Structure 1
């Protein structure tokens, strides 16, 4: 019995040391872009998020959210109109969400994401408006595209049209330049060939005029008369 108790105590000590060693090498990291702002109309659904990385950790994240009041960040009391969730991205990376199901003007403020008791992310500014807008937006410094933010389709198709028109104009201009250069080159070749033909014809005519008949006697009188006739 003494031996068995000793073995159990040693096993507990080994397991405890292994767990403590793993926690000592665990350094949680929370990624939230600075100056992140979310805008939402009252009575809408808003989802804010933070990314949590646990390098060297062998556990799931322990995520909590708090709201800033002055220098303190007080834990939130979860009610029917808010909930939290998280999903795994990689083996050591997760994304945590804080969801306002029916956001109100009182929800305006700064919220922070926490992992455990010591690691906390940058503040997220949540601003609730009562102007009846039906869009939820946040600043572009946030690398996570919130599902509540619709794409700006109005400007997107306009840029596509501009790109297509610019490409067509450039193509037409290029074809015109190439055709113009081809016509000039072709006309230049025709002029050169015509000039060469005229020159050859002229030289042939001059040569024929200077040739003597084959049956002509080469005496001085005849040659003189022939020369004078020319």
Structure 2
């Protein structure tokens, strides 16, 4: 019984030593988007982002969450652009820029990172985007704008 106990201790010792002194643990791919992140766009353009940590530079994509909770991948268009900005050798920020924002852009968006030949894959928390109807504000009439400019010019000339 003493020999069995001794062999068990030796086995535990070598297993523990291999785990702590052996190969380093694999690097973990991660995305940082805080829960309940939301953006409100009231201008013609806007941008959302997700921060990514990695060991091997990942492939990062954006998707928009549909009503059935399926995330539909977004492709770049004239009104949607993506940009990867490397911060350090192991971190970066992935942007989704909305150009010519419309109310149809309202919704939940996520970014997804994949690395190591698709072995590692992570998806962010949702980012809520709301767009205020930009065209609903009353337009500035050209006549009032012209008269304001003429008033300013006359004041400057009289001074």
> Is the TM-score greater than 0.5?
yes
Q: 2: distance between equivalents of 1:130 and 1:50?
A: 25
Q: Give the ranges of 4+ consecutive aligned residues of structure 1 lying more than 4 Å apart after TM superposition.
A: 131-134
Match of 1:101 in 2: 99
Aligned-residue Cα RMSD (Å) equals: 2.1
- Structure 1 position 26, deviation (Å): 3.6
Q: 1: distance between equivalents of 2:47 and 2:134?
A: 19
Does the 8 Å CA contact 1:41/1:132 hold for their aligned counterparts?
Answer: no
Whichever structure has more strand as a proportion of its residues is 2
Q: 1: distance between equivalents of 2:111 and 2:134?
A: 28
Tell whether 2:51 aligns with 1:48.
no
Deviation larger for 70-79 or 28-37: 70-79
Per-residue deviation, residues 57-94 of structure 1 (Å, max 9, x unmatched) = 2x322110001012211111321111000111122110
Per-residue deviation, residues 105-124 of structure 1 (Å, max 9, x unmatched) = 11100000110163100000
- Structure 1 position 133, deviation (Å): 9.4
Q: 2: distance between equivalents of 1:133 and 1:84?
A: 28
TM-score by length of structure 1 reads: 0.43
- Structure 1 position 25, deviation (Å): 2.4
- Structure 1 position 102, deviation (Å): 1.1
Q: 2: distance between equivalents of 1:92 and 1:131?
A: 39
Radius of gyration: which is bigger?
Answer: 1
Per-residue deviation, residues 157-194 of structure 1 (Å, max 9, x unmatched) = xxxxxxxxxxxxxxxxxxxxxxxxxxxxxxxxxxxxxx
Q: 2: distance between equivalents of 1:27 and 1:85?
A: 22
Whichever structure has more helix as a proportion of its residues is 1
- Unaligned runs of 5+ residues in structure 1 are 1-23, 135-230
Deviation larger for 100-109 or 68-77: 68-77
Match of 2:89 in 1: 91
Does the 8 Å CA contact 1:41/1:133 hold for their aligned counterparts?
Answer: no
Q: Higher relative CO (CA 8 A, sep ≥ 6), structure 1 or 2?
A: 2
